[in-house]
Chain A
Amino acid sequence: MARRCRLRSNLAGVVCAVTLLQAGCSRPVASSAFVAIEHEISPEPVRVGSATIILKLSDASGKPITGAHAAIETDMSHAGMSPGFAEAKEAEAGHYRALLQFPMAGDWVILLHVTLPGGTKLERQIDVKGVQPE
C-alpha cells in the first residue's frame, strides 16, 4: 500500500515537473490580432546568396505602422548552421526592408522579432522552402 502511494506521488511529481518545464519552455508572444505583417522576398525563388525582404506592417484599419523595430533572424531547418541576423530599416511609411543572406541551398526559416512603437512585441515565423543552389 505504502509502495503504491509512493508510486503515485512519484508519478504526480513527474507530471508536475513536465508541466512546469512545458510552461517554462513556451515563450509569451504578444497578441497580434490587430497588426498585419505582410512580406515579400526577392528574388523569387530565393537562390543561395543574398535576398531582400520587405515587411509591410499595418494596423486593423489598414493604416501603416511607422517607427517599429524589426529584427530578423534566418535559420536553416536543420541543426549545425549559424543563424543570420539583420535589422530591417523603414524605407517608407510602414515598409521595412532588410538584406538577408542564404549561404546554403535548402529550407530556411525567417524569424521576425518586431517591436511596435508602444513597446508591444510580436514574433512571426516565415518558411522559405527550397532555396535554390547558385
Chain B
Amino acid sequence: MNPSSIPVLDTPESLPFDLMRVPGLGQLFRWRYVRPLLQAPLLVLSVVMILHGLFGPTLAPKNLATTLSWLHFRGILVLVLLCAGNFFCLACPFMLVRQAARRFLKPQFTWPRPLRNKWLSVGLFVLILFTYELFDLWSSPWWTAWLIVAYFLSVLVVDGFFKHASFCKFVCPIGQFNFVASVLSPFEVKVREQDVCTRCHTKDCIRGRRESISDLVTIRGCELALFQPSKVGNMDCTFCLDCVHACPHDNIGIMSRLPASELMVDPLRSGIGYFSRRKDIAALAIVFTFGALLNAFGMVSPVYAVETWLGKILHVSREAPVLGLIFTFFLIVEPVLLLGLAAWLTRAWARSPRALLPLAVRYSYGLVPLGFGMWLAHYCFHFLTGLYTLIPVTQNAIASLGWPFLGEPRWTLTGLPANVVQVIEIGFLVLGFAGSLLVIYGLAEDDSPEKPLRAFLPWAAVCLVLWCASLWLMFQPMEMRVMLMSG
C-alpha cells in the first residue's frame, strides 16, 4: 500500500492511544526498575519449574515444568502478543540472570559480522521444533527442565562474550517467534513527536544516557540497534523500555497502531533495513508460518500413519531420519513450490518487474498473519482445554513438600470444553486468513498499481491452500504419542 494513500486525520480522535499515558501504568513503565520487577517473578517460576522438572513427578500432567511450559506459558504468550505486544521479552527471566552476570563479566567482543542476521536463529527455531517432536518434550518434565537450564546457559555464554543484546537479536528462538508475531500486535514502542527527535542532539535513546564528567553510561540506549526516530514496527523490539528511560524528552510511548500495518509498507527500518531485501527475515516468516502447520501436524493422528509409511518405504526404523524428511518437505520443499509458483504467476500475470526471489521474499511476509492464526489456534487449544490443570498440579507439588495447606489435588479440574475451544480456534484461523489477504492485497496494490488483482490472486490462492490445511488439521483427532519408532 502506498503510504501516501493512507488518509491522515488531525483530529484528536485519530491520535494513537498511548499506554504510557494511562495513569499508574505510565508511571510504572517509566520507573527504571520496572523490568527487574516483572522479571523476578518469572525467574522464580523458572527455578521452580527446573526443580520440579528434575526432582518432581516423572509424569508430565503432574509436573509443573511440563504443565507450565507447554500449556500455560505458550498460551499466555500468544494471547498477550495478540492483545498487546511483545511483553514477554520485557519480562524475560533469562535477561535478569544476564544482567546479574554482567556485573562480574564484561563482554569483550562484538557479534561476528557474518552472523549479524537471522539465519542462525532460523536454524535454532527449526531445531527447537525438531527436538520438540523427536524427544517428545511435552511428555518429559526432565527434558523440559534441561531445556530451560540450557536456555539460561546459552544466554550467559553468548551475552557473557558478546556485547549488547546479541542473544536476543541474533540467537534466541523464542525471541524471533515473538518478533515475528509482534508485527501483528496492536501496540508499538514509538516516538510521540518526530519534531522533538529532530531537535534532539544527544540521541540518548540509542547511545544511552551518560554521566557528564566520567562519560559512563548510566541508562542504556537500545541494545538491539533500533534508533527510535527511524524505527518502524515491532521487529527486533524487545519492549525493554531502555529507550523510554533514556529519552531526556519523555518522547517515547507505547502507542496503538493497526496490527500488521507494518507489513504493508517497506521503508528503511532502523537496525533492520528493508524487509524486501532481507531474505533471512523472510525465511524466518516462512518457518514461522509453515512451522505453525507442521507443529500442529505433529499432534494429530495422520502424522503417525505418514511416519510409518515413510519408515516402511525407506526401510528405516529410527524416527530421526523420518522426522527429518517430514521437516524438509514442510519447511523447504512445500514453501519453495508454493511460493515459487505464486511468484512465477505474479510475474506472468501482473507483469511485475521484480525477479522471482525478490517477489517471493516480499510476499512471504503476507503469510505471517495466517501463521500466527495457526499458532494461536494450536496453543490456545492446549491452554484453554487445560486451563485449570495448574491448580491440582500446584496442590500436588506443595503437598509433596509436606505442606498440604492447599488441600487434596483436584485432578478433575481441567479447562474449557473442547467444543467451545474449537469455535475460538476457528475464529483465530479466520482472523489470520483475513489478515493475510489484507496484507497481500496491500502489497499487490503497491507492487502492481495497475493490476493489483492479478498480483493478489496467486498469493491469495497460497493462503487459501494453507488455510484449508489449517482447518483440516484442527478437525483431526488429536493423538499424542511419545515414540513411534526407536528414537
Contacts and interface: CB of A to CB of B under 8 A. Distances in A.
Interface in B253-269: none
Given A80-B61, A106-B479, 18 more contacts: A18-B51, A18-B55, A24-B402, A75-B61, A75-B62, A77-B136, A77-B139, A78-B139, A78-B480, A79-B67, A81-B61, A83-B412, A104-B477, A105-B479, A106-B480, A107-B482, A130-B484, A133-B479
Interface in B450-484: 477-484
Contacts of B301: 105, 133
Contacts of A111: 59
Given A106-B478, A106-B479, A79 B56 contact: no
Contacts of B169: none
A129 B56 CA distance: 23
Nearest to B52: A25
B1 interface: no
Complex A-B, nearest 10 residue pairs according to Cβ-Cβ distance, in ascending order = A80-B386, A105-B479, A106-B480, A82-B414, A77-B139, A79-B67, A24-B401, A22-B55, A78-B138, A106-B479
Interface of B: 51-52, 55-57, 59-63, 66-67, 70-71, 136, 138-139, 301, 304, 382, 385-386, 389, 393, 400-402, 411-415, 477-484
Interface of A: 18, 21-22, 24-27, 48, 73, 75-83, 85, 104-107, 109, 111, 129-130, 133-134
Contacts, number: 99
Contact of A27 (B386, B389, B400, B478): B400
Contacts of A79: 60-61, 63, 66-67, 70-71, 138, 386, 389, 393
Contact of B401 (A25, A104, A134): A25
Interface residues of chain A: helix, strand, loop or mixed (majority): mixed
A80 B415 contact: yes
A88 B428 CA distance: 43
A104 B478 contact: yes
Contacts of B55: 18, 21-22, 25-26
A118 B484 CA distance: 41
A36 B412 CA distance: 30
A21 B415 contact: no
Nearest to A104: B478
Nearest to B477: A133
Among B56, B61, B301, the most chain A Cβ lie within 10 Å of the Cβ of: B61
Contacts of B61: 75-76, 78-81, 83
B479 A80 contact: no
A17 to B, nearest CB: 9
A32 to B, nearest CB: 18
B71 A80 contact: yes
A95 to B, nearest CB: 27
B399 to A, nearest CB: 10
A83 B57 CA distance: 15
Nearest to A48: B477
A107 B478 contact: no
Contacts of A109: 59
B405 to A, nearest CB: 14
Contacts of B482: 77, 107, 129
A22 B145 CA distance: 15
